[in-house]
Amino acid sequence: MTFFADLDDDGRVRGFYTPDIHGDAIPEGAIEISEAVYAAWLVDTARQRWNGEALEACDPPPPPPPLPARDVSFWQFMMAAWKLNFITHAEALTAVRQRIMPPAFAQAIAGLPAEAKLAAELKFAGITRMLRSDPMFALVVAADIATDEQIDGVFAVAATIA
């Protein structure tokens, strides 16, 4: 059987392929390897790489960075938004104590139809958890108040607050 290995720039395998299974979908640049090399590479894929001629031992790659938190408490989110200068100290306190929406959030929903705006205001008034998947954050991005990356940053900081 013929095997191919798709490699990254360090010679680490991204995937194994065989024409019997993958047909013409083998990535361009994949190298042909023997069945013996394929079998040896499967034994410890993360600790081996291709040096251009053969397999060689290597340290495993570092773990990927953690995904940003997707669910934090309301107060953690407001604290993180303050720490990152998206809202003021007073706005953070008012949001948590009185459930008054910070101006940045109010700006994001200002253009919504009346019923949708009321729904967003009511949701804000009763919220206890902030979910990254909440459509409110798409409104914040659309209103050019923050980018998706900045919102992910707020969630990441919020997740570290105990």
Q: What is the DSSP letter of 56?
A: E
Question: Mean pLDDT across the stretch 49-60?
Answer: 95
Whether 67 has a pLDDT exceeding 70, the answer reads no
| Beta strand spans in 19-156 (E) | 31-33, 48-50, 55-57, 71-73, 129-131
Report domain extents, the chain: 3-57, 71-160
Question: Mean pLDDT across the stretch 39-53?
Answer: 95
Whether 21 has a pLDDT exceeding 90, the answer reads yes
Q: What's the CA gap between 139 and 6, in Å, rounded?
A: 40
DSSP-derived 3-state class of residue 33 = strand
Q: What is the mean pLDDT of the chain?
A: 92
DSSP-derived 3-state class of residue 101 = coil
